[in-house]
Amino acid sequence: MLRFLIFVVFFSIGAASLGGAVLCDDFIRHFRHQHLVAQAEQSIRKLRSLNEQYDVLLGQLENDPNLFKRIAPVTLGTRIEDPNTVYPKAKAQELAIARRALTAANEEPTEATIPRWLQRCSDPAKRIILFISGASLILIAMVCFTSDSDPDEESAEAA
C-alpha cells in the first residue's frame, strides 16, 4: 500500500510538471484570451448602458417638445439669448481635467494579468528544467515503485 501511495505521489507530481512545461504557452494564451473576453464584456455593458440612456432621452423628447429648445443650443454650440438665465462658462482646460477624472475611474488594466508562477515557468531554461524533472519523477515512479512481478508470471514459472 505504501509503494502504491508513493508511486501515485511521484507520478502525479511528475505528470503535472511535465504537463506544465509542455502546455505553458497554451496557459499564457488562455489567460490573454480571458482578458480579451473580459474587455469585450465590459464594452458590451457600456454599450447597453448608453442604449438605455438614449432610450430614456428619446422617450423624454417624445413627451416634452420644449426639450428640443433646451438641448439644441448645447448640442449645436450656439449661443442662447435668454435674459433670465445664467450660463456657466467652462474653460477647455477645466473640461479636459474633468474628462480625465471621469475616464480614469472607469478604466481597467489593458494588459492581461498572467499569474507570477506562470511568468516564471515561461522562461525557457525553467521550462527545460521542469520538463526534465517531471520526466525523471515519472521514470523513478515507474522503475522503483511498480510491482516486482506479475502473479500470472509467477504461477507460470512454478508450473
Overall residue count recorded for the chain in this entry: 159
Contact between 87 and 80 under an 8 Å Cβ cutoff? The reply is yes
Over residues 108-121, the mean pLDDT reads: 78
pLDDT in tens, 11-54: 999 999 999 999 999 999 999 999 999 999 999 999 999 899 98
Which ranges of 64-150 does DSSP label H, i.e. alpha helix? 67-76, 92-106, 116-121, 124-144
Is there a domain that residue 71 lies in? yes
- Pick from 43, 34, 31: nearest CA to 107: 43
Distance separating alpha carbons of residues 16 and 10, to the nearest angstrom: 10
The predicted pLDDT at position 88 comes to: 66
* pLDDT-based confidence at residue 60 (cuts at 50, 70, 90): confident
Task: Look at residue 158 in the predicted model and tell me its pLDDT.
Answer: 56
Residue 156 has pLDDT above 80, yes or no: no
* Residue 84 forms part of a structural domain: no
Whether the per-residue pLDDT at 111 is higher than 90: the answer is: no
Report how far residue 61's alpha carbon sits from residue 70's, in angstroms, rounded to the nearest whole number: 11
37 within some domain: yes
Q: Is residue 6 part of a domain?
A: yes
130 assigned to some structural domain: yes
Its domain, for residue 133, covers: 2-79+115-148
Q: Quick check: is 137 in a domain?
A: yes
The total of structural domains in the chain comes to 1
Section 64-78 average pLDDT? 74
pLDDT in tens, 135-153: 999 998 888 877 766 556 5
In a domain, 87, yes or no: no
Q: Is 89 inside any structural domain?
A: no
